[in-house]
Amino acid sequence: MKKMRKMAAALLCVAMVAGMVTGCGGETAPKEKANLNVVALTGPTGMGMVKLMADNEAGETAVNYNVELVGAADEITGKIVNGDVDIAAVPCNLASVLYNKTEGKVKIAAVNTLGVLYMLETGNGESVQSVADLAGKTIVTTGKGTTPEYILNYILKANGLDPEKDVTIEYKAEANEVAALIQQGGAEIAMLPQPMVTTVMAKTEGVRVALDMTEEWAKAQGEDGKQLVTGTIIVRSDVLENNKEAVDTFLEEYKASIDYITENVTEGAELVAKYEIIPSAAIAEKAIPACNMVFLSGEEMQQSVAAYLEVLAEANPAAVGGTLPDEGFYYLP
C-alpha cells in the first residue's frame, strides 16, 4: 500500500512539473530570447540597422538586441577587445586589424556597405567625365594615410595617372572642412563620402557627382573584379561558437532591415532621422540610395573582402593589421 502511495505521489509530481512546462493550454512555454550586444557607427552601417532597432524596441525581433550607435571606429575597438559587445558594424580594414590584433578572436560575417566615396565637381562644371579628366586637377579630400587615400591612388593608377605627378591632392583633417571649402567656393574638385555628399549638394548650388568611385573601382578590377567594400559585420569568435543560432538570427534580421530601408526609402528615412543618424529625413531620403547598403555573405563576401584588403595591404600593410588575414577570418555558414 505504501509503495502505491509513493508511486501515486511521484506521478503527481511529474504531472505538476509537466503542467508548469506546458501551461493550461497544453502548449510548450515560449523559449526565452537570446541577448546580443551590438554596436554600429552613425553612418551607412547604422542606417541599415534602424529597422531592426525599431522592431527590437517593439519586441518583434527573435533576439533581444542592445544596440549602441557611436561616432568613431576607435570607440568600437575597445568594446570588442574587452568583450563588451558581441557584434559590431565596422570598416572593412578595421575588421582585419582586429582579427590580427586579437589573434583570431573575431570573424567577419557579412559586408553591409559598398563604396560610399564620390568625386564632386563644383561651380556647374562639366570638365570631369572620367578618371582621366582628373589629370592636372587639384582634388580636395580627407583621409590621408587611411583607406580613402589608398582607394583614390589605386583608381588613379589603374587609369594611368600618377597620384604624385599627374594630380594635386590636398588632404584636410575632416570631411566637414572639405564641405566648408566647397560651400565657400574654395574647391573645384573634391572627394567625399555619403551621406556628406548629399548634405553638401543640398546646401550648395552647382555641385554635381562627377564620378562614382565604387563604379570606378569595379572598372579597375576588370571583368572578374570584386566590389569595393566599406562596411562589414564582425562577430566575436567565442559568441559565434557558443551562440551560433542567435548570431545567424541576427544576420537574417539585419539583412531584412537593410532590405526594408533600401526598398522603402521614405519610411526608412524617417527611421534614420528618428535615431539621429542624419538629422533631416529629407536629406536621409536622398542619401539612402547612394549609400550602397547591401548584405553580402558567404563566398561572395569573402571574395570582395579579400580583393579589397589586398589593395590596402599593398599600399600600407598596417592598414590591415600588418598582414592579410587567413581563412579563419571568414565566417562561412
The CATH number assigned to the domain holding 272 equals 3.40.190.10
Q: Which of 221, 249, 274 is the last residue of a domain?
A: 221
Q: Which of 221, 248, 263 is the last residue of a domain?
A: 221
Q: Are residues 149 and 275 in the same domain?
A: no
Per DSSP, 229 falls in state E
Q: What is the pLDDT of residues 201-251, one digit of tens each?
A: 999 999 999 999 999 999 998 866 678 999 999 999 999 999 999 999 999
Separation between Cα atoms, residue 146 and residue 31, nearest integer Å: 46
Q: Are residues 110 and 235 in the same domain?
A: yes
Q: Which of 204, 221, 238 is the last residue of a domain?
A: 221
Q: What is the pTM of this model?
A: 0.85
Q: Which residues of the chain have pLDDT under 50?
A: 1-26
Q: How far is CA 318 from CA 155, 172, 250, 326, 332, in A?
A: 20, 21, 31, 16, 26
Range of the domain at 266: 46-114+229-329
Is the residue at 28 inside a domain?
Answer: no
Q: Are residues 79 and 65 in the same domain?
A: yes
The pLDDT value recorded for residue 22 is: 44
Q: Are residues 215 and 238 in the same domain?
A: no
Separation between Cα atoms, residue 89 and residue 212, nearest integer Å: 23
What is the β-pairing status of strands 208-212 and 117-121? antiparallel
**Mapping DSSP to helix (H, G, I), strand (E, B) and coil, where does residue 321 land?**
coil
Number of domains in the chain: 2
Is the residue at 61 inside a domain?
Answer: yes
Separation between Cα atoms, residue 266 and residue 109, nearest integer Å: 28
